[in-house]
Amino acid sequence: MIEFRSVSKQFPDGTKAVQGFDLTIPSRSTTVFVGSSGCGKTTLLRMVNRMVEPSAGQILIDGEDIATTDAVQLRRRIGYVMQNSGLLPHRSVLDNITTVLRLNRTPKAEARERGLTLMDTVGLDRALAKRYPSQLSGGQQQRVGVARGLAVEPNILLMDEPFGAVDPIVRTELQEELLRLQRELGKTVVFVTHDIDEAFLLGDQIVILKKGGVIAQQGTPEEILANPVDDFVADFVGAHRGKRSLSLKQVDGRTIVVDADGKPAGVLAEGAA
Ligand SMILES: Nc1ncnc2c1ncn2[C@@H]1O[C@H](COP(=O)(O)OP(=O)(O)OP(=O)(O)O)[C@@H](O)[C@H]1O
């Protein structure tokens, strides 16, 4: 479980990115931060692995205040997947995936075996192991990024717009893969996006943010769809999705809410269908 307690972040230039943020993120489920550009999503995410330090407040992981932990150690046990994959261009696919394992002093042969297994896990052909990132498609690069994030067998996986830079078809594929992976692995995933459709598809819990990291609404997709708390949320959900008729469809054993074009608009909680 991750707890934000009255967390604020003011950058040295005076920008107040996040103010008095409170949230509990349950373990083994996916929480999605969704909101417009600049509302503080990335700042919130990066405070979880101390790439950004809060100016005030506390963040607890399983009851432990992370400010009291060693930042480097913390970062090495939390998976982090970023937009544009963030891969090292002069390292092979396998080296990219196993970098943190090697930093953690995992023996070379073991790291290699684990890297290849991770390639299987994220649906990458092992034949690509020796290629460089520039020799891969955008979707393949993102898969390498996910494999790298999973390399240290983290309980927590932070994902910052990981599928933002790929075309819509590949994006749908990657989203479905993530749903499958999450069913198998059951990580605590914190996912950032500005795309409400993506949020509804992937999130067990959705947190809609306004500027300054202010929570406009949090809840399950169906709670938010059924009862937007105010005009801001209704507009955000409606304007980004179009107010189209909704219906239900079975995808991978989950009941998905789809709009008139068959685009996913949400997932029904178990037992709700
Ligand atoms: N290092 C920094 N120094 C000063 N201001 C910053 C810094 N990083 C972010 N900000 C500001 O903090 C606010 C929140 O930024 P953040 O990157 O968290 O937003 P975001 O919701 O992730 O946006 P996007 O979707 O565009 O990535 C913005 O106003 C941004 O300009």
Region 210-215: what's the mean pLDDT? 93
Nearest-angstrom CA–CA distance, 246 and 222: 11
221 with 255: CB under 8 angstroms? no
Secondary structure E strands in the chain: 2-10, 16-25, 30-35, 56-61, 64-65, 78-82, 156-160, 188-193, 205-210, 214-219, 247-251, 254-258, 264-267
| pLDDT bucket at 273, cuts 50 / 70 / 90 | very low
Q: How confident is the model at residue 267, as a pLDDT?
A: 62
Residue nearest atom 16 of ligand 1, based on CA coordinates: 40
- Confirm or reject: Cβ of 40 under 6 Å from ligand 1: yes
Domains and CATH numbers, the chain: 2-241 (3.40.50.300), 242-273 (no CATH)
The number of the ligand 1 atom at minimal distance from the alpha carbon of 9 is 12
User: Exposure string (b/e) for 9-43, b if CB count within 10 Å is 16 or more?
Assistant: beeeeeeebbbebebebeeeebbbbbbeeebbbbb
Q: Which of 78-87, 133-142, 144-153 has the lowest mean pLDDT?
A: 78-87
Looking at the predicted structure, is the pLDDT value of residue 253 above 80? no
SS3 for 242?
coil
- Which of 9, 13, 16, 41 for mutating ligand 1's site (highest number of atoms within 8 Å of CB)? 41
Q: Give 86-138 pLDDT, tens digit per residue.
A: 899 999 999 999 998 888 889 999 999 999 999 999 999 999 999 999 999 98
Give distance in angstroms: CA of 132 to centre of ligand 1.
Answer: 30
Left, alpha or beta for 36 (phi > 0: left; psi -120 to 50: alpha)? beta
Give distance in angstroms: CA of 188 to centre of ligand 1.
Answer: 24
Looking at the predicted structure, is the pLDDT value of residue 141 above 70? yes
Predicted-complex ipTM score: 0.95
Task: Report residue 248 as tokens.
Answer: 């239900």
Give distance in angstroms: CA of 189 to centre of ligand 1.
Answer: 21
- Which of 10, 15, 21, 196 for mutating ligand 1's site (highest number of atoms within 8 Å of CB)? 15
With the C-alpha atoms ordered 232, 24, 41, 204, is the resulting torsion angle positive or negative?
Answer: negative
Nearest-angstrom CA–CA distance, 28 and 125: 28
Q: Give 38-74 pLDDT, tens digit per residue.
A: 999 999 999 999 999 999 999 999 999 999 999 998 9
Looking at the predicted structure, is the pLDDT value of residue 223 above 80? yes
- Which of 4, 11, 210 for mutating ligand 1's site (highest number of atoms within 8 Å of CB)? 11
- Confirm or reject: Cβ of 117 under 6 Å from ligand 1: no
| pLDDT bucket at 243, cuts 50 / 70 / 90 | very low
Element spanning 28, H or E:
none
- Confirm or reject: Cβ of 17 under 6 Å from ligand 1: yes
Check residue 84 and report its DSSP letter.
T
- Confirm or reject: Cβ of 194 under 6 Å from ligand 1: yes
Question: Model-level pTM?
Answer: 0.86
- Confirm or reject: Cβ of 206 under 6 Å from ligand 1: no
Q: How confident is the model at residue 22, as a pLDDT?
A: 97
Region 217-245: what's the mean pLDDT? 81
Query: For the chain, what percent of residues have pLDDT higher than 90?
Result: 68
Residue nearest atom 26 of ligand 1, based on CA coordinates: 37
For the chain, give the mean pLDDT: 89
Q: Give 4-27 pLDDT, tens digit per residue.
A: 999 999 999 999 999 999 999 999
Region 248-263: what's the mean pLDDT? 68
Q: How confident is the model at residue 83, as a pLDDT?
A: 83
